[in-house]
């Protein structure tokens, strides 16, 4: 990030605009939404600017901007860079610590104006560091459609109530009050009674939260999906958004942790086959301790928490401590992997059941019902199978599996560095060599011819 977004206070402060052409008009339209004092310097100005000056919405000087004008300015916009003396003025502004923006000149500017979604006092600024203004505008359009127009009214009413709410509620209760207001009570009131109903609704809501008992802590056992944040469920997102504590597996992608509430405590509790790991008892103890302290704990597990995630042990620990819990399912790695190779787990006439297997368990390489797995047309997703590739191959061949049985390896399913390797049972041990990331083996399936990665942006190697 080469540009850090901040909001600059410009209330009643001078914002200077050099130039009086179309560019200046465009900037002024934006700046007139603010409470800044606008001062335009233009030897010649568009009629629109002149009429704004007549209306008293800005001050217009029919001359170039001089160094002395910069005193006390909050910002300087140069919209007529071609004029000779602007290099000098821009340099003066920089020396005096006044942020300067030269329209269409990133190098000469010390700040850039983002695309703005305006729901005053809620303002969303979208920037691309000059890389893709068209993209910024597309994002703005999308947000404009999504965010209700009454958002600003909700926030204005909320702002008036903040001191009172803060004096009566604290910590989690305070947060829950505001969540309920912005999620339900506020929008519902505006719809039913208009903005005038907001103060009464806020008082009633506040009274209810003040008298409510302190909510006990609880644990959400949440599936984080295979890696791509877009594959997170809405429920998982909401849980992350409200979490006080997030205890996550080593496989949970950093982009997903980014979605946790900013104040949440993030605890890495890695469990890696054959590697360093946090003992299960320690993870259980962490969940219990934080929930007992009244916290909303999110136990974030990769994929689906119910697939090779030691979910039962965690639930048992929570039950034993009489702590409230619920499961929020996620997309398991096998689902992401099969989507990437364009295949279906089940297929009429081919297989009417599928199996999820693990390559190793607490006893080492995991034994399976090899006889049935070795039959033609069987389909299975094998988790944690890299290390046991040779063992799996041996067991299946011993049970008369066809050495040409297709197997597809999907490394880092749904992540940017994903790889798909199509191989056969005969070639399996060699094919897993060099795989670094988490990998799913799809037994009995080859990638569909011409299958494309659903996201298209992910680089792929198809080693056939």
Q: Is 445 in the site for ligand SAH (CB under 6 A)?
A: no
> Binding segment for ligand SAH among 52-60, 196-204, 411-419, 444-452 (CB under 6 A)?
411-419
249 given a catalytic annotation: yes
Q: Is 408 in the site for ligand SAH (CB under 6 A)?
A: no
- Closest by CA to 179, choosing from 125, 243, 266, 259, is 243
Q: Is 140 in the site for ligand SAH (CB under 6 A)?
A: no
Torsion 394-399-405-409 (CA) sign: negative
Interatomic CA distance for residues 343 and 357, integer angstroms: 18
Q: How far apart are the first and last CA of the chain?
A: 39
CB distance 225 to 244 below 8 Å: no
CB distance 429 to 407 below 8 Å: no
Q: Given candidates 76, 222, 333, 380, which one binds ligand SAH under the rule CB under 6 A?
A: 333
Q: Given candidates 69, 383, 388, 432, which one binds ligand SAH under the rule CB under 6 A?
A: 383
Number of H helices, E strands in the chain: 16, 19
Running DSSP on this structure, what letter comes out for residue 24? H
The encoded tokens of residue 389 equal: 């590739």
> Binding segment for ligand SAH among 2-10, 139-147, 163-171, 407-415 (CB under 6 A)?
407-415
Closer of 177 and 308 to ligand SAH (Cβ): 308
Q: Is 314 in the site for ligand SAH (CB under 6 A)?
A: no
For ligand SAH, how many residues bind (rule: CB under 6 A)? Answer: 23
Q: Is 19 in the site for ligand SAH (CB under 6 A)?
A: no
CB of 368 to ligand SAH, least distance (A): 15
Q: Is 432 in the site for ligand SAH (CB under 6 A)?
A: no
CB distance 78 to 103 below 8 Å: yes
Q: Is 79 in the site for ligand SAH (CB under 6 A)?
A: no
The residues with which 240 forms a beta bridge, in sequence order, are: none
Torsion 279-285-291-293 (CA) sign: negative
455 given a catalytic annotation: no
CB of 200 to ligand SAH, least distance (A): 47
CB of 462 to ligand SAH, least distance (A): 16
Q: Which of 173, 238, 271, 387 is catalytic?
A: 271
Running DSSP on this structure, what letter comes out for residue 351? B
Distance of CA 393 to the CA centre of its chain: 40
> Binding segment for ligand SAH among 7-15, 137-145, 303-311, 316-324 (CB under 6 A)?
303-311
DSSP of 76-134: EEES-TTSTTHHHHHHHHHHTT--EEETTBTTT-S--PPEEEEETTEEEEE--TTS-HH
> Binding segment for ligand SAH among 71-79, 112-120, 331-339, 456-464 (CB under 6 A)?
331-339
Residue of closest CB approach to ligand SAH: 303
Q: Is 231 in the site for ligand SAH (CB under 6 A)?
A: no
Site string for ligand SAH, 336-375 (x = CB under 6 A): -x--------------------------------------
CB distance 219 to 291 below 8 Å: yes
Phi, psi for residue 241 in degrees, rounded to 5: -65, -25
CB of 303 to ligand SAH, least distance (A): 2
Closer of 39 and 253 to ligand SAH (Cβ): 253
Active site residues: 249, 271
Enumerate binding residues for ligand SAH (CB under 6 A): 226-227, 251, 301-304, 307-309, 332-333, 337, 383-384, 410, 412-415, 438-440
């Amino acid at each position: 990030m080469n540009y850090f977004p901040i909001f600059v206070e410009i209330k009643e402060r001078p914002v200077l605009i050099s130039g009086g052409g179309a560019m200046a008009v465009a900037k002024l339209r934006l700046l007139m939404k603010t409470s800044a004092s606008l001062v335009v310097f233009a030897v010649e100005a568009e009629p629109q600017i002149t009429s704004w000056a007549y209306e008293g919405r800005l001050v217009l000087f029919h001359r170039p901007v001089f160094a002395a004008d910069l005193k006390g300015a909050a910002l300087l916009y140069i919209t007529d860079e071609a004029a000779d003396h602007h290099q000098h003025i821009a340099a003066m502004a920089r020396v005096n610590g006044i942020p300067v923006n030269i329209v269409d000149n990133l190098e000469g500017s010390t700040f850039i104006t983002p695309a703005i979604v305006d729901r005053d006092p809620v303002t969303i600024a979208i920037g691309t560091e000059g890389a893709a203004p068209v993209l910024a505008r597309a994002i703005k359009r999308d947000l404009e459609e999504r965010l209700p127009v009454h958002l600003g009214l909700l926030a204005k009413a909320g702002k008036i109530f903040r001191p009172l709410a803060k004096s009566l509620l604290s910590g989690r209760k305070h947060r829950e009050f505001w969540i309920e207001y912005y999620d339900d009570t506020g929008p519902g009131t505006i719809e039913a009674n208009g903005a005038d109903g907001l103060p009464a609704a806020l008082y009633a809501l506040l009274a209810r939260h003040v008298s409510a008992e302190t909510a006990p802590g609880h644990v959400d056992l949440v599936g984080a999906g295979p890696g791509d944040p877009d594959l997170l469920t809405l429920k998982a997102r909401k849980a992350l958004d409200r979490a006080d504590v997030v205890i996550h597996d080593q496989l949970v992608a950093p982009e997903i942790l980014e979605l946790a509430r900013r104040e949440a405590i993030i605890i890495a509790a890695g469990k890696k086959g054959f590697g360093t790991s946090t003992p299960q008892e320690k993870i259980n103890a962490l969940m219990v301790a934080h929930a007992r302290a009244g916290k909303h704990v999110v136990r974030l597990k990769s994929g689906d928490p119910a697939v090779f995630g030691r979910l039962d042990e965690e639930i048992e620990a929570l039950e034993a401590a009489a702590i409230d819990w619920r499961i929020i399912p996620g997309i398991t790695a096998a689902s992401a992997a099969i989507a990437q190779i364009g295949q279906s787990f089940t297929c009429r006439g081919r297989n009417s059941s599928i199996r999820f297997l693990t390559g190793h368990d607490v006893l080492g390489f995991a034994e399976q019902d090899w006889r049935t797995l070795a039959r033609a047309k069987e389909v299975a997703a094998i988790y944690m199978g890299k290390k046991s590739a040779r063992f799996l191959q041996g067991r299946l061949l011993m049970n008369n599996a066809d050495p040409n049985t297709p197997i597809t390896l999907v490394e880092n399913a749904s992540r940017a560095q994903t790889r798909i390797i199509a191989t056969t049972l005969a070639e399996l041990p060699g094919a897993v060599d060099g795989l670094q990331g988490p990998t799913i083996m799809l037994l009995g399936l080859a990638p569909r011819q011409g299958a494309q990665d659903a996201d298209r942006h992910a680089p792929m190697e198809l080693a056939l």
